[in-house]
Amino acid sequence: MKKLLIVGAGAVGRAFLPWVFPPEQFLYWYIDINQYLVNRLKRPGGTTYMTKSGGYVLQRIQCQDAPPAEFDAVITAVGPRNFMTLVEMFKDTTVPIICCENDSRLPQIMTNLTGNQNIYFAIPDVIASNMAPKKLTDIDPIAIVTEDGVCYIEYPMWTLGGNAVYLDKKGMYREWKAKLYIHNTPHCIAAYLGYQKRCFLLSDAMAIPEIKEIVTGAMEEMRRMIVARYGIDPIFAEEYSTKELRRFSNKLLHDPIARVAREPLRKLAKDDRLIGAAALCLEVGIEPVNIMKGIRAAMKYIQPKDPDYRTMKLVSDIGKFLDMIGVKPEEPIYNLMVKEIKL
């Protein structure tokens, strides 16, 4: 059996990856800052549930105890900010590393810092919650839920096997542009708008007609943008959009607003899914009306338990904020932000 070290036992690492790399074919070792969780996964293990056919399918996770001499692969799912804290771990090794982080730039950055040429990007095309409904946690306190998604991984890793889909650079490019803009942008917009309505779950937000209309509009703006700017096949983009709207509303996922909305500063970065996406729309002549509504809501996401709480609380001037993230006054998105965002 192949041996995997999973760094990060959260939504992707614990809920989704066991379906991609089935425990009957792979042995698992986990690293996580939550040592209780790691210990709980060892004995007697934990449970992950997949939403399927209107219900849940169960799978048991078993984290091994003593690590082997070497692993067949290391898979990270710790979040883009935390990924860069792993530099020392990945130095002086040639073990393949699969980066399941929401930033396609990270594998090359890590390669430059560590010298490891075997670092590959992966796209978990899935919504995986970091929690589960009470009826499931009553059975297992660390139960977790994922949908039936697909994990796309760069083709050189195809020998690892499992249920992953291995793609060449062209295929990964298409899937990443769709994930970054048709999924990530409307997904967090739904969360920020839902937070304003005091929703707890993303599906609760999507059940509000006003929010669903804005999210659908933002998704249409993103669909048109990636077709015009990146040459993405319009039929593929339309089918992807339809899939996203359906999955956002899946009540079985029990996906909390706080998970999707977390770290607003990262999502509001100049080249990320909100301000960056709106700027790209302007470049190809698309007015980002609905995306701006999402940006407005994101700027007001001041959640005490969020890592960005202190900084967001101090934001009181949109001009200073744009200067902080590197948006220049001569850029079209600067003028639009100053006009539309009132703090």
Do residues 5 and 31 touch, judged by C-beta distance below 8 A?
A: yes
Same domain, 16 and 100: yes
Same domain, 7 and 151: yes
pLDDT tens digits, 273-293: 999 999 999 999 999 999 999
Average confidence score pLDDT of the chain? 95
- Separation of first and last alpha carbons in the chain: 55
Strand runs (DSSP E) across the chain, as ranges? 2-7, 26-31, 46-52, 55-61, 73-76, 97-99, 119-125, 144-147, 150-154, 165-167
Choose the final residue of a domain: 138, 167, 196: 167
State yes or no: pLDDT of 255 exceeds 90. yes
Same domain, 214 and 314: yes
Return the exposure string of 92-127: e unless at least 16 CB atoms fall within 10 Å of the residue's CB, then b: eeeebbbbbbbbbebbeebbeebebebbbbbbbbbb
Secondary structure (3-state) at 299: helix
Same domain, 298 and 318: yes
Same domain, 80 and 137: yes
**What CATH number should be reported for the domain holding residue 97?**
3.40.50.720
Same domain, 234 and 278: yes
pLDDT tens digits, 131-161: 999 999 999 999 999 999 999 999 999 999 9
Same domain, 314 and 180: yes
Distance CA 327, CA 315 (A): 15
Q: Which domain holds residue 31?
A: 2-167
Choose the final residue of a domain: 167, 182, 200: 167
Same domain, 210 and 228: yes
Same domain, 262 and 188: yes
pLDDT tens digits, 151-204: 999 999 999 999 999 999 999 999 999 999 999 999 999 999 999 999 999 999
Same domain, 162 and 195: no
pLDDT bucket at 343, cuts 50 / 70 / 90: confident
Choose the final residue of a domain: 167, 191, 216: 167
Same domain, 100 and 242: no
pLDDT tens digits, 36-89: 999 999 877 899 999 998 999 999 998 998 889 899 999 999 999 999 999 999
Same domain, 145 and 214: no
Per the structure, the count of domains in the chain is 2
Q: For position 51, what pLDDT does the model report?
A: 96
- Tokens for 233? 């096949």
Distance CA 157, CA 173 (A): 16
